[in-house]
Amino acid sequence: RDQITGSGIYGFGKTGGRVPVGIGRRRLRIVVTGGAGFVGSHLVDKLIERGDDVIVIDNFFTGRKDNLVHHLGNPRFELIRHDVVEPILLEVDQIYHLACPASPVHYKYNPVKTIKTNVMGTLNMLGLAKRIGARFLLTSTSEVYGDPLEHPQKETYWGNVNPIGERSCYDEGKRTAETLTMDYHRGAEVEVRIARIFNTYGPRMCLDDGRVVSNFVAQAIRKQPLTVYGDGKQTRSFQYVSDLVNGLVALMEGEHVGPFNLGNPGEFTMLELAQVVKETIDPSATIEFRPNTADDPHKRKPDISKAKSLLNWEPKISLREGLPLMVSDFQKRILNEDEGKGY
């Protein structure tokens, strides 16, 4: 492994992401915004493991230090409490921009803040990328397709989004973030990458973030009924977090701007998901129906042929394989909660 230069003369510039990963490549300095969150912390694990330097920027709205505690003390790791809505000066090669609450419960909690995070936060990170010549990756979302009229969704589909609804702060916020990203690319020649992420699950999701997989798994462990919203016939496609992290890194290191759908094409109704959770955790678990939320997309399934052919990426872990991998993490945290230790 080659050595790293001091921070003052670190090799910034357009070479950032072009250096292939592997033995003998230069060690990179990488910012992960939102790195204390669910996806971000798994991405940090991978980047640290392959030998790079990582700076996490997070305001801890939905993220937790516990997700990164195993890196504290590592000289290649730095954690900065900072809100991306405010400007920041750093010197790095790559920026993975994840900062934004992802669960509908969290992003609706303070919708104006969600918009500021998506618009001003993304603007600041793009301004940073422009100043230092870093490569910038935006984690956008399948929500840009809204309640889709095309199924499965290809990247060429422009979406069906309500601009004035309860989900708009997130959907339209991410759409604007994509626009900003492309405008910095076209106008300021910033090297950019756009990922459109579909529903992702795994260890370290917030226990009570309201997302369907974390809700069902926590409910089954706590011996509570699984809450199915609406008639439960709406569909989603669930991706295990390590598949997503591999896709994000392949996108950052590759030569294509995107946007790329990153998701698992396996499509499930919420009732089918409840059934898989029952089989995995507790076959005696019951189901309770609740009213659905406003503007809930009826179906969602990625067409991933673009990522397959241009990034040579596809998910490897099915829902039935992935669910058990998050159960022990949830069990441990729920047990700690019960014992009053909190988490």
Q: Does the annotation count 201 as an active-site position?
A: no
Q: Using the rule CB under 6 A, which residue among 13, 87, 150, 294 binds ligand UDP?
A: 87
Q: Residues touching ligand NAD: how many (CB under 6 A)? A: 30
| Shortest distance, position 78 Cβ to ligand UDP, whole Å | 17
Segment lying near ligand UDP (by CB under 6 A), choices 33-41, 46-54, 81-89, 252-260? 81-89
Q: Using the rule CB under 6 A, which residue among 63, 254, 258, 315 binds ligand NAD?
A: 63
Please state, in angstroms and rounded to a whole number, the distance separating the CA atoms of residues 126 and 133. 10
Q: Which of 107, 170, 184, 240 is catalytic?
A: 170
Q: Is residue 127 near ligand UDP by the rule CB under 6 A?
A: yes
Q: Using the rule CB under 6 A, which residue among 54, 68, 79, 98 binds ligand NAD?
A: 98
Interstrand relation of 77-81 and 53-58 (parallel, antiparallel or unpaired): parallel
Question: Which residue type, as a one-letter code, is found at position 15?
Answer: T
Q: Using the rule CB under 6 A, which residue among 45, 83, 147, 171 binds ligand NAD?
A: 83
- Beta-sheet strands, E only, within 271-328: 287-290
Please state, in angstroms and rounded to a whole number, the distance separating the CA atoms of residues 161 and 172. 8
Tell which residue, 141, 174, 27, has the closest CA to residue 94.
27
Which one of ligand NAD, ligand UDP, none interacts with residue 12, CB within 5 to 8 A by kind?
Answer: none
Q: Give 97's strand partners.
A: 33, 138
Check: CB of residue 226 under 8 Å from CB of residue 274: yes
Which one of ligand NAD, ligand UDP, none interacts with residue 76, CB within 5 to 8 A by kind?
Answer: none
| Shortest distance, position 257 Cβ to ligand UDP, whole Å | 18
Alpha helices by DSSP H, listed for the chain, are 38-49, 104-109, 111-116, 122-132, 168-188, 212-221, 241-253, 270-281, 305-311, 319-338
- As given in the structure block, the two tokens for residue 217 are 């798994």
Residues in contact with ligand NAD, shown as a per-residue x/- string from 191 to 220 under the rule CB under 6 A:
------x-xx--------------------
Positive or negative, the CA dihedral 107, 184, 141, 246 is negative
Question: What's the Rg (C-alpha) of the chain?
Answer: 20
Q: Give 236's strand partners.
A: 268
Residues in contact with ligand UDP, shown as a per-residue x/- string from 221 to 250 under the rule CB under 6 A:
------xxx----x-x--------------
Please state, in angstroms and rounded to a whole number, the distance separating the CA atoms of residues 129 and 16. 10
Residues in contact with ligand NAD, shown as a per-residue x/- string from 110 to 129 under the rule CB under 6 A:
-------x---x--------
Q: Is residue 139 near ligand UDP by the rule CB under 6 A?
A: no
Alpha-carbon distances of 92 from 15, 29, 132, 153, 283, rounded to whole Å: 11, 5, 7, 34, 49
For ligand NAD, the closer of residues 117 and 246 by Cβ is: 117
Cβ neighbours, 10 Å, residue 44: 27
Residues in contact with ligand UDP, shown as a per-residue x/- string from 282 to 301 under the rule CB under 6 A:
----------xx--x-----
In degrees rounded to 5, what are phi and psi of residue 108?
Answer: -85, -15
Q: Is residue 211 near ligand UDP by the rule CB under 6 A?
A: yes
Residues in contact with ligand NAD, shown as a per-residue x/- string from 16 to 55 under the rule CB under 6 A:
-----------------xx-xxxxx---------------
Check: CB of residue 321 under 8 Å from CB of residue 240: yes
For ligand UDP, the closer of residues 135 and 236 by Cβ is: 236
Q: What share of residues in the chain are helix, strand, coil (percent, to 5)?
A: 40, 15, 40
- Which residues of the chain form contacts with ligand UDP (CB under 6 A)? 87-89, 104, 123-124, 127-128, 130-131, 199, 210-212, 215, 227-229, 234, 236, 270, 292-293, 296
List the catalytic residues: 170
- Which residues of the chain form contacts with ligand NAD (CB under 6 A)? 33-34, 36-40, 57-63, 83-85, 98-102, 106, 117, 121, 139, 141, 197, 199-200
